[in-house]
Structure 1
Amino acid sequence: MVAGCGLPRSGPTKREIFAGSVLREGDAFILTVNDRVTRATAVTPALGFSDAFKRAGLLGPDTIRPGDTLGLTIWENVDDGLLAAEMANSTILEEVQVDGSGFIFVPYAGRIRAAGNTPEAVRRIVTERLAEQTPDPQVEVRRLAGNGATVSIAGAAGAPGVYAIERPTRTLSDMLASAGGVAIPPEVAQVTVVRGDMRETIWFQDLYENPRFDIALRDGDRILVEQDTRAFSVLGATGTQARVPFQTQTLSAVEAIAQVGGLLTSAADPKGVFVFRNEPEEIAEQVLGRDDLTGAQRMVYVLDLTQPNGMFLARDFLIRDGDTLYVTEAPFTQWNKVISALTGTLGTVATLDTAASALGGGGE
């Protein structure tokens, strides 16, 4: 009778959860976590760069690109040269801009393609052109500003902006360092590089732990620093009930429970720790030992922390994005609620009876 009254509680009981099993005409597979289950479900996000990114060579620091600014000095071996002023034998051409097509203009030498060439190559071309008009010209070509190649950095970087790819910043880690690093905890920082129609992501920590992920940058690369968006929900007899973001790359059930303040000692049942998950077909078949499933399956994993190896299994069982962690209340808690409801009801009845008697006496 009391149960029918709907006592307040934080969620379903263990009996109600097990009633939803496919073995009892429900639509969820309920499994007790063991070593085989922990191995089959230990799936973590596979982040990293493809070979196309890793094999890209460093940009040559001496290669001229559109947008570069060059400086030229030309010496002529005559008193009355083509370019030099009177009584001077050298001419300085400051800030010669490489146009969008990659060309520069040098008087008497004409329009010269600079993009794709090194300063030395441009020097030879200018020398050859001028040699046809003035004897033994000497030419110096200098890069004054920029490499022409830039990347943009956005998101949770220390200093987002547009940065030139220069000799000290030709790799991803160096460029991020130049931009002030990351402004979020490195444990949950992800770095995405967008190159043309390719978009690839890596963990920030992996970038430094694995040197082969420190890729060479390319002109036009877009770098996005953002925090891991994975989260799990927690309900029931725990320290909090909320949607909780991941704080590390991998998160075990024990760590998830600790992250929300642990189990409520006054209410939680350590035998009733459940993880609700929509499991992909291939993993569900591996866990269940079947090959006849279609699509994602509703799975409920059960952890009993009172077993001798319960804590070890909870430590090895990984929480995944979108999981719901639910802890049932201990039977004693429900019993206390029943007693409280009964005694509270009886007390209320007695109070009403006393009040009615007092009113009746006043009427006499």
Structure 2
Amino acid sequence: MTQSTSKFKVLILCLGLVIQTACTSAFLPGSGPSNSEIIKSQSIPDNIPVLDINAQNIQGLSGGFQNAPDLGLWQRAKPNLKLGAGDVIQISMWEAPPAVLFGSAGVGSSSDSIGISGGILNLPEQIVSSQGYIVVPFVGKVRATGRSLTDIEDTIRGHLSKIANKPQVIARLVQNNHNSISIISDGRSLTLPLTPKGERLIDVLPNVVDIKKIKSTSLLVSRGGNRITVRASDLSRQDLLNFYLYPGDTVRVLQDPYTISVLGASNANTTVPFGDEGLTLAEAIAKTAGLNDYRADPKGVFVFRKNASIDEASSVQAVGQPIIYRLDLTKPDAMAMVQRFTLKDKDILYVSNASGTELQKFLSIIGSITSPVANTKAVTQ
């Protein structure tokens, strides 16, 4: 027996051991559970339920990415802005000749002093105190919070009319610190003062959004304990969504704020971002270049969802609990259903391996082992 023949027999023996190991243990790695393993798992108590997507339940699973927002809270009239603590006000007063109260000729030269000239009294700028007051000479403390500039003018004029000759008063808002909204974008915070004309949601965009990113931008508006998300591209198309902003509102600018993860036997295992217009199962599969022809089991396309809604869980009694949806793409109506099934934020789209995938892997390993051996034997002969 030649040395090469002995080596060949040793390799064949090793190959036999490899085959035995592959047949009796988890020798070959996989990308995840198979279709049959996931289906079997639902028979185990406390395991995540598996719900097949079919023509009977697809209607309840295709209602859109999010429920239509209740616009009752947001569809309000233009806000009637009032002064508040922190606002900066400047008061000017004068009286008709002959000036009785403001007729003296003492003139203040700095902006922090009181200037009297020709019957006109210009007060320095004042910040409305935390208690809500400003101080006016000859009048005293005047409440400013919760009032308009016109109200303050009337109050001061009423006091001066008793000691001045036909007094007139103008109150001017120098700095609007109370009636404003906060905008959070790209890790920075901005303040947008509101004016009597009334600012709508679309007025936020020029301050924070590149026009090229409008289609991928959403605005998350918080008011008190309520929130609403509006797609920026919808503001010019739907007037109801372009509502008035109110003091204290917070607007967070989001770029593609939602994602799903795609795993298993797809042509690309990746994270897919999407916006408030939603993402269908068909679009998600297309964005990852479809199912892998050599690995995927078209009967085992799964969507793992961490929180089932009441409508979704009605068949499996799993409200608020994880749920798994399965779709068999070999069925004739499957293409219609993937177009209607809407994915949600943080869903996992998983494509299981076909049953023959492990066999293909194993045969490729066998080929890599036997090919060099066969070539060696041919050379020795």
* Structure-2 change in CA distance of 1:215 and 1:237 (3 Å): same
CA contact (8 A) 2:296 2:352 kept: yes
SS in 2 for 1:111: strand
Residue 35 (structure 2) aligns with: 14
**1:119/1:327 Cα in 2 relative to 1: closer, same or farther (>3 Å)?**
closer
Question: Aligned residue for 1:312?
Answer: 336
SS in 2 for 1:35: coil
Q: What is the identity, as a one-letter code, of the residue corresponding to 1:36?
A: Q
Going from structure 1 to structure 2, the CA distance change for 1:47 and 1:190 (only over 3 Å counts) comes to farther
Q: CA deviation at 1:253?
A: 1.1
Amino acid at match of 2:334: G
Matches within 5 A, 1:51-62: 51-55=72-76, 57-60=77-80
Which position in structure 2 is the counterpart of 1:155? Answer: 185
The Cα of 1:108 is off from its aligned counterpart by 2.3
The residue that corresponds to 2:136 in the other structure is 106
Structure 2: how far apart are the matches of 1:112 and 1:340?
89
Which of 327, 333, 354 aligns to 1:302? It is 327
Give the secondary structure class of the aligned counterpart of 2:349: strand
1:203 equivalent in structure 2: 230
SS, match of residue 166 in structure 1: coil
* Cα distance between partner residues in 2 of 1:294 and 1:60: 43
Check whether the contact 1:47–1:202 (CA below 8 A) recurs between aligned residues.
no
- The answer for the alignment partner of 1:362 in structure 2 is none
**Equivalent of residue 59 in structure 2, options 16, 39, 46:** 39
Q: How far did 1:250 drift?
A: 1.5
Q: Given the alignment, which residue of 224, 229, 233 partners 2:252?
A: 224
Q: What secondary structure sits across from 2:41 in the alignment?
A: coil
Matches within 5 A, 1:64-213: 64-66=83-85, 67-78=87-98, 81-86=100-105, 89-100=118-129, 101-135=131-165, 137-147=166-176, 148-156=178-186, 160-174=189-203, 176-177=204-205, 179-181=207-209, 185-187=213-215, 189-196=217-224, 198-205=225-232, 207-213=235-241
- Aligned 8 A contact 2:160 2:167 in 1: no
After superposition, the C-alpha distances for 1:35-70 in whole angstroms (9 at most, x for unaligned) are 223222235334746644443x43335x44442322
What is the CA–CA distance in structure 1 between the aligned matches of 2:152 and 2:138, rounded to whole Å?
A: 15
2:302 and 2:326 in contact (8 A); partners too = yes
Deviations 1:96-118 (A, max 9, x none): 42521333333323333344443
- What is the identity percentage for the equivalent residue pairs of Structure 1 and Structure 2? 23
Are 2:156 and 2:169, in contact at CA under 8 Å, matched by a contact in 1? no
Q: Which residue number corresponds to residue 16 of structure 2? A: none
> Which residues of 2 match residues 317-356 of structure 1 at below 5 A?
317-330=341-354, 333-347=357-371, 350=374
Residues 231 and 243 of structure 1 are in contact (CA less than 8 Å); yes or no, is this contact kept in structure 2? yes
Match of 1:361 in 2: none
Q: How many Å separate the matches in 1 of 2:171 and 2:41?
A: 76
Q: CA deviation at 1:257?
A: 0.9
Give the secondary structure class of the aligned counterpart of 1:152: strand
Q: Can you list the C-alpha shifts for 1:190-225, whole angstroms capped at 9, x where unaligned? A: 4333445x2413223455544334443333333322
Distance in 2 between residues matched to 1:36 and 1:191, nearest whole Å: 35
Name the CA shift for 1:95/1:217 in 2 (closer, same or farther; >3 Å). Answer: farther
Deviations 1:260-283 (A, max 9, x none): 222223433434322233563734
- CA distance in 1 between counterparts of 2:222 and 2:261 reads 31
Does structure 2 retain, via aligned residues, the 8 Å contact 1:48–1:200?
no
Pairwise CA distance, 1:141: 0.6
Alpha-carbon spacing, 1:104–1:341, altered in 2? closer, same or farther (3 Å): closer
SS of residue paired to 2:302: strand
When residues 339 and 217 of structure 1 are mapped into structure 2, their CA distance, relative to the original with a 3 A threshold, is closer
Aligned-pair Cα RMSD in Å: 3.7
User: How many residues are paired up?
Assistant: 345
Secondary structure of the corresponding residue to residue 69 of structure 1: strand
Gapped regions of structure 2 (runs ≥ 5): 1-19, 107-116
Instruction: Flag the 1:128–1:344 CA change in 2: closer, same or farther, 3 A.
Output: closer
Q: Distance in 2 between matches of 1:250 and 1:285?
A: 20
Partner of 1:239: 267
In structure 1, runs of 5+ residues without a counterpart are 359-364
Distance of aligned partners of 1:271 and 1:193 in 2 relative to their CA distance in 1, 3 Å threshold = closer
Contact 1:156 1:184 in 2 (8 A): no
